[in-house]
Amino acid sequence: MNNLLGIYEKALPSLSWDEAYAAAKEAGYDFIELSIDKNRLNKLDYTDAQIKEIKDCAKKYDMSIETMTLSANRYYPIGDPEKRDEGINIIKRAIVLAHKLSVKLIQLTAYDVYQKASTTETKKLYEEGIKEVLEFDKDFGIILAIEVLEDVDHFNTSSKLVPFIEEIGHPLLKEYADTGNIVYNGFDPLQDLKDGIKHIEAIHIKDAIYHNEHNIGYGQGKVDFDAIFDYLKEADYRKYLVSECWYEEDHHPDIKMISEFIRSRMI
């Protein structure tokens, strides 16, 4: 498989950009997936000098800058009447930042609301918000990929998300698949990839068990990685693969081991 393999920024400890790229390079990755969560919104205000620093580090270690996760919109969902304006503004600012960094793809959340009940109205507002940011994006050309999420019932599988993507029918609107999020609810990640393959531009590769997709050791959960990679080869999938895990006080992922685990199945 001739795919780029990335590592989630939050899988790395709090390092300088130079140290982060050095660690990712040594561990065998092609790029770092940048993270903008609720604690990293200040990145949207990066100066030209800060942007140059990231690009220079990527160049120094012969690595590309490819994808960005915009998980901050969990807390600023664009279907919530009280938060949608700020949520849409965050996405637009992320698009501008992605353009400056030469990021090709932004992962969007599937939340119309967060920790509230979805309604016909909130789903409609979400759709309108997606259309608004796509219109804004026409001058930048950044792929916007909605992630299948375990806790959004109407978008927790490809079979549910794909009709939404196809209804909007915009060339820059795609799917971000996630093997672990699918297992979380007891679904089959292999079937999910088959259901979404025409629209999938990136895949979070992680293991999971029922109702837990957070830092489950690769090969320790319910994801059949051999079957998944056999299918991706058969489907001639040539898009992004990203190892998603988290460096936390009580969990320090072995990112080199994870890279070797994934790459051994990409052969």
Is the Cβ–Cβ distance between 262 and 5 less than 8 Å? Answer: yes
When pLDDT is averaged across residues 34-58 and rounded to a whole number, the result is 97
Q: Which residues neighbour 11 within 8 Å (Cβ) at sequence distance 6 or greater?
A: 243, 244, 245, 246, 247, 253, 255
Report the pLDDT value the prediction gives residue 1, as an integer from 0 to 100: 81
Report the pLDDT value the prediction gives residue 108, as an integer from 0 to 100: 98
Tokens of 86: 């700020």
The number of folded domains in the chain is: 1
Q: Give the number of C-alpha atoms closer than 13 A to the C-alpha of residue 33, restricted to the C-beta side.
A: 28
Residue-wise pLDDT for 236-253, tens only, equals 999 999 999 999 999 999
15 three-state secondary structure: coil
Band of pLDDT at residue 63, cut at 50, 70 and 90: very high
Report the pLDDT value the prediction gives residue 124, as an integer from 0 to 100: 98
Tokens of 4: 């780029």
Q: Would you say residue 55 has pLDDT above 90?
A: yes
Q: Is 40 exposed, middle or buried (0-12, 13-18, 19+ CB in 10 A)?
A: middle
User: Domain holding 201: CATH number?
Assistant: 3.20.20.150
Q: Would you say residue 2 has pLDDT above 90?
A: no
Give CA–CA dist 114/77, Å, rounded: 7
Q: Would you say residue 103 has pLDDT above 90?
A: yes
Residue-wise pLDDT for 79-98, tens only, equals 999 999 999 999 999 999 99
Residue range(s) defining the domain that contains residue 70: 5-266
Q: Would you say residue 70 has pLDDT above 90?
A: yes
Residue-wise pLDDT for 147-166, tens only, equals 999 999 999 999 999 999 99
In the chain, % of residues over pLDDT 70:
100
pTM: 0.97
Report the pLDDT value the prediction gives residue 158, as an integer from 0 to 100: 98
When pLDDT is averaged across residues 55-76 and rounded to a whole number, the result is 97
